[in-house]
Structure 1
Amino acid sequence: MQRRRLILATGLALAAPAPAVWAWDDKGDPFAFVVDVSNEILDEIRRDPALAHGDPEHVRQLVDGKILPVTDFTLMTRLTVGPDWRKASAEERQRLEQGFRGLLIRVYSGALLQVKDQRCELRPTRVKTVKDEMVIRTLLKASGQKDLGLDYRIYRAKDGAWKIVDVNVEGIWLVENYRSQFASVLSSEGVPGLIKMLETRADELAAKNKAKS
């Protein structure tokens, strides 16, 4: 579980304000884009002691500065909520996004403690066909540790930029995993119940993290 959280934190968390010029090209080679994004996030974690210790505010800055610009988080949230997304009002959709984002930030703050000398590399493959929708398969490597699989589902947006919409951690897709967790709440309490659950869980995790600090 700790290893899965580490990879998800690397992929989505889920630092200091982002630089004005990105180190990656979000409209170029999708394989290089995914690897460059992952490694810049890892470098940022190592550079910022507060981020490396999982400080939620620094994690939030990382998400706002580096993750959200390369992620279609609205689509990710919609896919996670499933068919009930269509029943939600504009305000409820906004709260669902905020609640899901807050939950991920709190959950993965603790995982950043595991980041040491990890680097992201493409899995060995002879096929590098570029399509508008792709799964980029990578490995997270660290000295003295087993390689860990991390796959990104991406698509090319209308402006030509690549956007991340899902992450697979050793066979477990983030969207599918959370969708199964949310299904029972949506079935019994609907969208308002899921919003309440997300906000309550984020508050509980925040209090837990504060108590540890």
Structure 2
Amino acid sequence: MKSRYLLVALLLLLPCLGAAPAAALGGPQAQLQETVDGVIDLLRARDLPLEDRRAQLSTLVRARFDFPTMAQWVLGPQWQRADAGEQQRFIALFTDLLEATYLGRIEEYSDERVEFLGERIEDRRAQVDTRIITRAAEIPMSYRLVQRGEQWLVFDVIIENVSLVRTYRSSYSEIARREGMAGLFAQMEQRIRELKAGGEG
């Protein structure tokens, strides 16, 4: 069930992933909340071809998630052992993997909504606490963000105390340690192919 709600969390995050108008800029919660309604409208636009919706969401995701920071957290100590080329390759594959995992399942969205509960800011890091309201339950969800210029970029999503970054780190850093970066890349590439093939099916 957590993966189901994580899907919803990521999809409902997508409105904040595009460049916000200057007048709309504010704190982390304001930037998230300002655009949630817009993405829900997009998810509900069943008359828009599925591939068009996926393409629009993909563009938004790549604009707002701080994938380099996420990648460093996921690899842990193995990040420092990788050379610059390996680091960039991991960022690219990790981005593709998240996109294939979650954007390929946007049809699972079924009118969930998000309530914003508050923000905590410390220097250039922040956490925005929310909850997902479904027909059957209320699910706690938090976003962790880092400030880059005027924008707040997401580097982790937490559902019921389960961290997206830590979930991937528990397996990926160990694969890199055991099989090297080449072995990790091979497994990630295979998983992306499987996800894309499943989505096409």
TM-score range, shorter chain: 0.7 to 0.9
Q: Secondary structure at the match of 1:84?
A: helix
User: Structure 1 pair 79/130, CA: closer, same or farther in 2 (3 Å)?
Assistant: closer
Q: CA deviation at 1:167?
A: 0.5
CA distance in 2, matches of 1:61, 1:68: 10
Letter in 1 for 2:146: Y
Whether the aligned pair in 2 keeps the contact of 1:137 and 1:151 (CA below 8 Å) is yes
Q: Secondary structure at the match of 1:10?
A: helix
Moved more, 130-139 or 163-172: 130-139
CA distance in 2, matches of 1:199, 1:24: 41
CA distance in 2, matches of 1:114, 1:165: 23
Q: CA deviation at 1:130?
A: 4.0
CA distance in 1, matches of 2:163, 2:10: 14
Structure 2 residue 108 is matched with structure 1 residue 114: yes
Q: CA deviation at 1:48?
A: 5.2
Match of 2:54 in 1: 59
The counterpart of 2:76, out of the listed 69, 72, 82, is: 82
Identity, in percent, stands at 27
Whether the aligned pair in 2 keeps the contact of 1:24 and 1:37 (CA below 8 Å) is no
Q: Secondary structure at the match of 1:94?
A: helix
Gaps in structure 1 of 5+ consecutive residues: none
Letter in 2 for 1:151: S
CA distance in 2, matches of 1:43, 1:155: 27
CA distance in 2, matches of 1:187, 1:19: 35
Whether the aligned pair in 1 keeps the contact of 2:13 and 2:32 (CA below 8 Å) is no
Match of 1:44 in 2: 42
Whether the aligned pair in 2 keeps the contact of 1:7 and 1:169 (CA below 8 Å) is no
| Runs of 4+ in structure 1 over 6 Å off | 18-21
Q: Summarize deviations over 1:23-67 as a string: whole Å, max 9, x none.
A: 983x4122121223444322222225567x5x4x74354132x22
Q: CA deviation at 1:122?
A: 0.9
Whether the aligned pair in 1 keeps the contact of 2:125 and 2:144 (CA below 8 Å) is yes
- Matched ranges for 1:34-183 at <5 A: 34-47=32-45, 49=47, 55=51, 58-64=53-59, 66-123=60-117, 130-131=121-122, 132-142=124-134, 144-157=135-148, 159-183=149-173
Note the aligned Cα RMSD (angstroms).
Answer: 2.9
| Number of aligned residue pairs | 198
Q: Secondary structure at the match of 1:135?
A: strand
Match of 2:26 in 1: 28
User: Structure 1 pair 181/48, CA: closer, same or farther in 2 (3 Å)?
Assistant: farther
Q: Which has the higher strand share?
A: 2
CA distance in 2, matches of 1:209, 1:129: 37
Q: Summarize deviations over 1:159-181 as a string: whole Å, max 9, x none.
A: 23211111001211110000002
Gaps in structure 2 of 5+ consecutive residues: none
Q: Secondary structure at the match of 1:116?
A: coil
CA distance in 1, matches of 2:23, 2:115: 15
Could you state the TM-score of these two structures normalised by the residue count of structure 1? 0.79
